[in-house]
Amino acid sequence: MPVLLALLYVLCHGMVVAFWPGTAGGGSFVFLVAAPLLAAAACLLRARRDRAALGWRATALALLLWAGGMGVNMIDALGAGRANITPTASLLLYVLYGVPLVFILARARRERWSISLIDGGMAALLGVLFFVHTRSFADRIDVDSHALALMQRMFDIQNLCIAAFAVVRWLAGDVPERRVFFRALALYALAYLGVAFYINHYTAEQSFGAYNDLLIDVPFLLLALLALRRAPVPGGVLHPQLSRLVQAGGPIILPLLLLVVGTLVVDHARALALAGFVVATLGFGLRSTLLQSDLLARQAALDRLAHQDGLTGVANRRQFDTLLQAEWNRARRSGAALALLLVDIDHFKAFNDAHGHPAGDRCLRAVAAVLQSTAGRAADSVARYGGEEFAVIVPASTLSGVLALAERLRLAVEALTLPEGPVSISIGVGYLHPPAMASADQLLADADAGLYAAKRAGRNQVVLHARVLDDGSSGEGVIDC
């Protein structure tokens, strides 16, 4: 149905051109203004239900600017405008049409609003510089036979850049919804490039109201159809390496264009050219600083995720292995003692089955918080060993101090008041002094043996399995709670 309506729109436009003759082409202007407005409405409608909403809204803004330019052309053609204002106004609107498109094409995804604001400022200044340069040709059309061709070439360059950037962003898309948007924008931009080139270079001498006006409808109607189309969202990435390259190099587009266009206008607008150079340099530097700050923050967050258990907030198993080996190496060099506590929540599977996984998660978080707060020394490290098991590394402590800590941990957890009822823990203690006589794996095995003995003895207690004690003896001891 939308395709039939688009064909009907072009047919009606052709009938108006055929049966409403006149050099001004007033009837044709109605369709030329309505086509981009319909496309803008379709883009805004799509933005209400799409993850690439910013892109669709930016495109709608561009289309509104273009429709404004055509509306000013209509006023001028109908003789209702002022000769010294309306041509300049229409030229400005046609130039500014490209600003939202360049902004969205240069913008990387997931950027903070301050970076987008910097990009928006650079895009706006780029439009002003482009307008100043294009107007310098428009002002000389009556006295310079090459001025019109140069102005047309500038618009060709603008349209070509938009189409090329859109195609690249389409091919490099790594988010399905954004790839759909850039595909629609690329197809529209390519159609607009072809139509604008033909109109500007082959029918420039003709006034509005001719049959070639029907071609101008095509890109806008195509975009409206693509925006309204409910196509399946593609999966995967077409070109992963190109995607990474575009994400990394996209931010340089606006500063580079500012420098290029600033160079073009330096002869007839030196102050604006200088402003372009300064904004390009400072804008790129500032956005790079903000982006680097974001990257450092994300890296810190990733580091925390890599070393921290997501549920309980204590160290995860990978970090535990690293910490245990580091403490083992330190104890071996210094000759100090090293202890390891393995903690298991008693009957946790039954607790989970009876109260559900959300309650089990709350229990794990509560036990982890108690262990973290009770193991008060900065040198002591608490980690989630796996499932309902936790580990506490206790360096450079006497055996009596380690056992006292284990007992404090047991009593603190036993005193927990959970909505589902009380919980308890069993603790296995491994202790090496001096540690050079065994290994970190042996310490872990001793703590595991102590934990197994605690469970076998009835749970809710601390069991010591020490390889070598302070007095040089070996053995396994049970702390009766």
Query: pLDDT of 337-383, one tens digit each?
Result: 999 999 999 999 999 999 999 999 999 999 999 999 998 787 789 99
For the chain, what percent of residues have pLDDT higher than 70?
91
The pLDDT of residue 412 is above 70? yes
Query: pLDDT of 56-69, one tens digit each?
Result: 999 999 999 999 99
Contact of 273 with 262, CB cutoff 8 Å:
yes
Helix or strand holding residue 13 (H, E): helix 2-19
- Give the number of other Cβ atoms within 10 Å of residue 25's Cβ: 24
H-helix segments, 229-356: 240-249, 253-264, 270-307, 317-334, 348-355
Q: Looking at 25-34, 60-69, 157-166, 186-195, which range is the least confident one? A: 25-34
Contact of 396 with 336, CB cutoff 8 Å:
yes
> 388: helix, coil or strand?
coil
Cα separation of 96 and 44, whole Å?
A: 19
The phi-psi region of residue 338 (left if phi > 0; otherwise alpha if psi is between -120 and 50; otherwise beta) is beta
Architecture of domain 317-479: 2-Layer Sandwich (3.30)
Cα separation of 179 and 171, whole Å?
A: 8
Crossing angle of helices 53-77 and 213-228, rounded to 10°: 160
Residue 238: the pLDDT is: 61
Closest CA to 188 of 226, 230, 227, 223: 223
Contact of 123 with 254, CB cutoff 8 Å:
yes
| Mean pLDDT within 423-440 | 84
Cα separation of 235 and 186, whole Å?
A: 19
Cα separation of 375 and 364, whole Å?
A: 16
| Mean pLDDT within 275-287 | 92
Cα separation of 325 and 338, whole Å?
A: 11
Better pLDDT: 213 or 237: 213
The pair of three-digit structure tokens given for residue 220, joined into one six-digit string:
């806008």
Query: pLDDT of 103-152, one tens digit each?
Result: 999 887 667 788 888 999 999 999 999 999 888 888 787 777 788 888 88
User: Helix (H) and strand (E) counts for the chain?
Assistant: 17, 6
> 78: helix, coil or strand?
coil
Residue with tokens 């404090």: 408
> 381: helix, coil or strand?
strand
Highest mean pLDDT of the ranges 13-27, 148-162, 459-473 = 148-162
Strand order in the sheet with 381-386: 381-386, 389-395, 338-345, 425-432, 462-468, 475-479
Tell me the pLDDT of the chain averaged across its residues.
87
Q: Which pTM does this prediction carry?
A: 0.70
Q: Looking at 216-220, 272-276, 470-474, which range is the least confident one? A: 470-474
The pLDDT of residue 473 is above 50? no
Q: Looking at 28-42, 62-76, 199-213, 337-351, which range is the least confident one? A: 199-213
| Mean pLDDT within 452-474 | 76
Q: From residue 203, how far is each of 16, 27, 197, 429 by CA, in Å?
A: 19, 19, 10, 90
Residue 479: the pLDDT is: 44
Residue 449: the pLDDT is: 94
Residue 21: the pLDDT is: 61
Residue 235: the pLDDT is: 57
The pair of three-digit structure tokens given for residue 459, joined into one six-digit string:
């749970």
> 393: helix, coil or strand?
strand
Burial tier of 458 (Cβ tally within 10 Å: 0-12, 13-18, 19+): exposed
Residue 70: the pLDDT is: 92
Cα separation of 284 and 159, whole Å?
A: 24
Name beta bridge partners: 340.
Answer: 393, 430
Residue 334: the pLDDT is: 87
Q: Looking at 176-185, 188-197, 288-297, 402-411, which range is the least confident one? A: 288-297
> 249: helix, coil or strand?
helix
Residue 145 phi/psi, 5-degree rounding, is -70, -20
Cα separation of 462 and 254, whole Å?
A: 66
